[in-house]
Amino acid sequence: MLTKELLNKYTPVVGLEVHAQLLTNSKMYCTDQNQYGSLPNTNIGVITLGHPGTLPMVNRKAIEYGIKMGLACGCAISRHNYFARKNYFYPDLPKGYQISQDKTPLCMDGSVDIMLKDGSQHSIRLTRIHLEEDAGKSIHLDHEKDTLVDFNRAGVPLIEVVTEPDIRSSEQAYALLTEIRKLVRYLAICDGNMEEGSLRCDANISVMPKGSDTFGNKVEVKNMNSIRNVQRAIEFEIERQIMLVEKGETIVSETRTFDAIAGVTHSMRTKEDLNDYRYFPEPDIAPLHINEEWINQIKAEMPSLPQQLFRQFTQEFGLPTYDAQVLTDTKEIALYFEEMCKNTSNYKAASNWMMGPIKSYLNELTLHIKDFPLSPKQITKVIAIIDEGKMSFSAAAQKLFPELINNPQMQPIELAKQLNLLQESDLGMILPLIEEVLEQYPDKVAEYKSGRKNLIGLFMGEVMKKSRGKADPKATSKLLKEKLEA
Ligand code: ADP
Ligand code: MG
């Protein structure tokens, strides 16, 4: 571990390259199925395998998904797209090249906004988002001395999101990747599952003396299978580089791999033996022109995005930042909450229900919100009962809520009646009880009148007891004060 002083002498610089597998039915350049988990080598036609004489064609849906991501990040969409061959040899690359985009990425510029735990906001600029195809997978089994190859993944559509070197800490990188995962999930273009490899991230990392504006040599780290591991790899790399620079050594530009168990990076290859990809225009695919009409159509179909919902929840609904963050964490939670807010204007109560009883219930049973038996409308009916003073929140959360889950078709008010949970705010019922209590404690009443105002708690408690917990506390306290101060 380096000292804080030493860490503070340097500014880390990080840029991310994020690959996301697109949730299309078929592959990027042919009709083979794009399906994770199929038996090995079952989704492999002649185009996937790169047989001579076969012709690739562009998957329209993949382009649409790429445009969606670009629009979500405020990118400029390229009207004239040319595909390019990226040549390299690898056993899992059947054609000996990937069809990618080089000079004309589908999306350019744009940015992704992040918010850190301390509330600070940062805008990370994107360089580009381009489309390409995935490679196959080499498989090394314990009992096999040969390497096996599964080509099912070959040709699966990918977008690659490349950021500018705008990231200045591992925490920012963590927040950015979380935001990108949220975006692809909201857009439903990728499942965002880093463990299964449908979302992958390479981190480019360098350090420079604080105050400098000349970036240091960068190191690229690969093979991180969770967002947390991306953060850990960046932290390790920053310290390793600072240590080298302090010793007067220069950083070699190289590709390193992250070992998640040891928490360290190892050198894979240096820049010198990096491939020269010999990019050239793909002769088998005609240039792809994207017109205004298509872009407008995609724009019209864009779902609400997390940042928009965050703004709506904080500005329009007046919710605290924390609530809005939790509520926009996943699209399904946000949509459920939005639906509740169509039926109640007590947004804070809706948020409390979502973040309290509903989340606890889901967590306890490890359920997803889509499996939650109660509709948003049912919950807002419960909120209305509480707001009318007929039931306390705690009675609703602890008694009515679990019963309602078992009887999701019942009207909450009927069930509350059945369970005898409704409070009396009916003055005709409370008033006699108050009078009884005040007659019972003449001394305390005198003390109250001479200034011991906190005796109100005693009177409240007695009235509640007599009503067997059914008197509405708000109405009771109001009426009590009126009586005592009369
Ligand atoms: P390369 O030529 O190695 O592909 P690029 O300039 O295309 O490098 O950048 C690749 C990624 O590395 C981008 O995400 C970019 O932001 C990031 N990057 C570039 N220079 C640096 C640097 N000095 N330190 C950290 N990241 C960098
Ligand atoms: Mg590059």
Kindly report the three-state secondary structure assignment for every residue of 162-187: EECCCECCHHHHHHHHHHHHHHHHHC
Bridge partners, residue 207, by sequence = 12
Q: Poorest-confidence range of 324-328, 426-430, 439-443?
A: 426-430
Nearest CA to ligand 1 atom 14: 15
Arithmetic mean of pLDDT, 205-219: 96
Per-residue pLDDT at 361: 96
Question: What is the structure's pLDDT at 474?
Answer: 83
pTM of the model: 0.86
Between CA 413 and CA 390 the distance in angstroms is 9
Domain boundaries, given as residue ranges, for the chain: 4-294, 304-418, 427-484
Distance 307 CA to ligand 1 centre (A): 27
Q: Counting ligands in written order, which one lies closest to the CA of residue 165?
A: 1
**Contact yes or no for 16/197 (Cβ under 8 A):** no
Average pLDDT over residues 276-280: 92
**pLDDT confidence tier of residue 273, bands split at 50, 70 and 90:** low
> To the nearest whole number, what is the mean pLDDT of the chain?
94
Distance CA 112, CA 124 (A): 5
Distance from Cα 193 to the centre of ligand 1, integer Å: 25
* DSSP tally for the chain: helices H, then strands E: 18, 17
Give the model's pLDDT for residue 222.
93
pLDDT of residue 466: 87
**What does the pLDDT read at residue 430?**
84
Q: Which of the two residues, 466 and 27, has the higher pLDDT score? A: 27
Pocket test for ligand 1, best of 204, 213, 270 (most atoms within 8 A of CB): 204
Mean pLDDT within 272-282? 82
Give the Cα separation of 101 and 83 in Å (integer).
5
How far, in Å, from the CA of 61 to the mean position of ligand 1? 29
Give me the count of residues in the chain: 486
Backbone angle region of 48, left / alpha / beta, with phi > 0 → left and psi within -120 to 50 → alpha: alpha
- Ligand nearest, relative to CA of residue 12: 1
CATH assignment of 427-484? 1.10.10.410
Q: Ligand 1: which residues within 6 Å by Cβ?
A: 13-17, 162-165, 204-206, 215, 218
Q: Looking at the predicted structure, is the pLDDT value of residue 275 above 70?
A: no
Alpha helices, DSSP H only, in 292-358?
Answer: 292-300, 306-311, 321-327, 331-341, 347-353
Q: Tell me the C-alpha distance between 232 and 238, whole Å.
A: 10
Q: Amino acid identity, residue 86?
A: K
Cα(203) to ligand 1 centroid in Å equals: 9
CA 234–ligand 1 middle distance (angstroms)? 14
* Paired tokens of 67: 């445009």
Confidence of residue 274 (pLDDT cuts 50, 70, 90): low
